[in-house]
Amino acid sequence: GAKWTYDGPQGQDHWSERYPYCGGALQSPIDFESGLLRFDPTLRPIEVQNYNLSPNEQLTLGNNGHSVQLSLSPMMSISSLHNQYTAAQLHFHWGSASRPAGSEHTVNNKQYAAELHVVHYNSDKYPNISTAVDKSDGLAVLGVLVEVGMFNPAFEHILKFINGIKYRDQKVKVPGFNIRALLPTRLDEYYRYDGSLTTPPCYPSVLWTVFRNPITISRKQFLTLATALYSSNAQDSAPMPLNNNYRKTQPVDSRLILVSFKE
Ligand SMILES: NS(=O)(=O)c1c(F)c(F)c(S(=O)(=O)CCO)c(N[C@H]2CCCc3ccccc32)c1F
Ligand SMILES: [Zn+2]
């Protein structure tokens, strides 16, 4: 990716100097403040298709310098929205070993340890994610809040390969697994709003669905995620740890935050 970081001279407070949308409207992430939530009885449970990938399926796990990302099968999709959205990749945002608070979305300003994003594009209207990424109806991202607690076996399908992608631009092939197991049990309870990519170029092109219920990973799993990766290349003399890769919450302005659940 291009030269932007989460902190320092190329950090998030400077993104809008090179990427104008980052200073524009409909930005993500946001805080889900109780007083701003509106129950919407028309919000149906999320339905995903073909998330249970065979181990014969080969996925690419990579360190792009901003996150750990996993390529996803184009058979995977969200089928419960007005258009079909086909999966492209998933990635994470997390804090650090000393501060296990790195989710992007927050709930009444509570920041979770990490957040999983499963990125999809509107395949009814666009042939691929590159053409969809800057369109207002282009993307749908499923967000999952992650807290430290019980060990998560599904997470191991990614963590066990993480030492093969310690440095920027490193990639490894990994076997498919049941991606549904990374989502919470209940897909009927979620926050819904119109937002943006949370990284440059910050296009306001994302229909956000953030599940109400977090998943858990163990402290050891969190520490592995938070300490294994570098945002610098293998040959860089000064290795830069990859952590705290979350954008601060953005102004909600006049946006509606819908919820599919009553208190
Ligand atoms: N939080 S977020 O907004 O969901 C989000 C990220 F935070 C994030 F780091 C990425 S990235 O890893 O690609 C690094 C910089 O774009 C993405 N990529 C998406 C959008 C950009 C184009 C593209 C092309 C193919 C696959 C995925 C994507 C992203 F959508
Ligand atoms: Zn993300």
Chain segment 35-66, per-residue pLDDT in tens: 999 999 999 999 999 999 999 999 999 999 99
Q: How far, in Å, CA of 88 to CA of 106, rounded?
A: 24
From the CA of 60, the nearest ligand is: 1
Residue type, 50: N
Distance 105 CA to ligand 2 centre (A): 10
Q: What pLDDT does 199 receive? A: 98
Tens digits of residue pLDDT in 206-260: 999 999 999 999 999 999 999 999 999 999 999 999 999 999 999 999 999 999 9
- What ipTM was reported for this prediction? 0.97
Known catalytic membership, residue 93: no
| Each residue's pLDDT tens digit, 185-205 | 999 999 999 999 999 999 999
User: What would the two tokens of residue 179 be?
Assistant: 């991606």
The token duo for 188 is: 């009927």
Pocket (CB within 6 angstroms of ligand 1): 1, 64, 66-67, 69, 88-89, 91, 117, 119, 129, 133, 141, 197-199
- Cα torsion 180, 43, 246, 229 to 10°: value is 10
112 contacts 95 by C-beta, under 8 angstroms: no
CA dist., res. 27 & res. 198, Å (int): 7
> For atom 30 of ligand 1, which residue has the closest CA?
197
